Copies of this chain bind each other. A is one copy, B any other.
Amino acid sequence: MIPLRSFVVNSSGKLLSLPRQVPKYYGKSILSKAPAHYEQVFNPARLASTTSSRMMGGQLPASRKRANRGEFSSVESDDISFFSNMLGKNRVLTNESEIEGYNVDMWKIIQGQSRLVLRPKNTSEVSMILAYCSERNLAVVPQGGNTGIAGGGIAVHDEIVISTSLMNQIEEVDEWSGILVCQSGCVLEKLNEHLAQFDLIVPLDLGAKESCQIGGNLSTNAGGLRVIRYGSLHSNVVGCEVVLADGTVLDCMNTMKKDNTGYHLKHLFIGSEGTLGIVTKVAIQCPPKPKAVNLAFVGIDNFQNVLETFRLAKRDLGEILSACEYLDHETLACVSENLQMKSPIENSFPFYMMIETSGSNGKHDEEKLSMFLEKAMNKEFVSDGTIASQPSHIKNIWSIRERFPDALMKDGHLLVYDFSLPLESFHEMVEETRGHLGPLAKRVTGFGHLGDGNLHLNVTMDEFNPATLAKAEPFVYNWVAQRKGSISSEHGLGSIKRDYIYHSKSPQAVYYMRELKRLMDPKGILNPYKVIPHT
């Protein structure tokens, strides 16, 4: 018998096994020329905005550790000339006021330092830009609608921003298969508007749909409200075209639903946050537009009954269940206090659920939903509720859900977390975090995509307090790791959570991620300081 592996314990106390033979590159930087002082720890804490406004221009937190700059070249005037010749001057932004919006995320968590924004219109231009940057050793960061909330699309230092906003052409909709082909810069809601003529919809829906782009959605494996019905983008993206760091165009642009010829490379680009390549085209399977939609908003007395209601909904609503959200009293109270929005039901409950159905026959769906609610009330899972069937009423109720982040931010400062957890532990986590933080938090609330096991845990404060942050992290990450959850269910790691990757991934997995990065981007110019920790 040969001894197989040694073991290490990570910061959460989780036992981790190591590869038997530690491969020779193990632990080396993905940036071949990274200087020694790069070792300095990059603080992955998500820092809160100093303003409750989501508009650009607010003040950002000043103190925040940043990864040291890699040994990349700096942009020089010759580079600007080259890009201006290629793209024309109006697609090469260097003026500070023009760049400002590209240097801060929508939520004002991250301040970038880019001094150059390029706005290509097609794959060929992206390819030429990257071939040039690779040659010159210039670092870049791809940016879509800039709606990410983990810092993945913002320059950490002076990376060149490659904005996909002008790559917004819809190329084709196959009416038989329902497959849409478009450039990566198409805005999600614009795709939906285009698909309406074919009676199709995009199989994903998120609060940011008016601004987020399909390429960014793909790169972050965006989740949202309808994963329970249509699955993730790993299910729905049938093909993509990607430009690699050296300018190579990697054609994974299949437009067929099924293809088992070789390794399924496209999945490497779904969720890798632009660190392996820049997505330039997408082919996506679109489902038929539902003929009928209904939304129930219900009040529930205890968390066990939230779970029972979910299980009943899965069984009785089955194929028409299209969203299953939960929120706690504290979340709704915050919306009511800070935004003066009214609850859809009169009485207060410890928990609420939003249960949506979408189907091909309105009469059938209403019947199913009524029968389900009757059963849920008879069994005393649900205490009160209302059903909306009119689009305007449905929109009103969803708008409450969409304003949760705004309401929470109005408290002053907000720490928002995005976890996958066993369903039974959702409320336990909220309560334990509240107990752990005590008076350091103004509010600790929970809501999320219950149907997908995805909890958003929120901690608010009157103003940013480093003590709160220090008490919250890594406490919450450890809590999740101990339950084998995911420390980022849908938001991604970006720059702010990358150093916590070992809380959800084994050292072997991170080792192979780093090797993949090295394979596809040997100079490390593509979205550096993101996703994979430096050591």
Chain A residues near B (Cβ < 8 Å): 1-2, 4-5, 17, 19-21, 85-86, 124, 127-128, 131-132, 174-178, 199, 220-221, 223, 227, 231-232, 234-235, 246-252, 254-265, 267-268, 270-272, 276, 288, 290-291, 307, 310-311, 314-320, 358-361, 364, 367-368, 420-424, 449, 452-454, 484-493, 497, 501, 503-506, 508-510, 512-513, 515-516, 519-520, 531-532
Contacts and interface: CB of A to CB of B under 8 A. Distances in A.
A258 B368 CA distance: 28
B246 A19 contact: yes
Contacts of A85: 1
A249 B519 contact: no
A316 B360 contact: yes
B260 A489 contact: yes
Given A5-B249, A176-B311, 15 more contacts: A21-B246, A176-B423, A223-B258, A223-B260, A234-B264, A251-B506, A251-B508, A258-B420, A258-B453, A258-B489, A261-B505, A263-B516, A318-B359, A319-B319, A320-B360
Contact of A271 (B131, B263, B422, B485): B263
B519 A258 contact: no
A396 to B, nearest CB: 25
Copies in the complex: 2
Given A270-B264, A307-B176, A359-B319, A452 B250 contact: no
A117 B140 CA distance: 51
Contact of A509 (B1, B251, B510): B251
A298 to B, nearest CB: 18
The 8 closest A-B pairs by CB, nearest first: A318-B360, A267-B267, A235-B235, A256-B420, A259-B486, A319-B319, A261-B504, A19-B248
Given A234-B267, A235-B234, A531 B272 contact: no
Given A86-B1, A176-B307, A263 B519 contact: no
A127 B19 CA distance: 11
Given A20-B247, A260-B486, A318 B520 contact: no
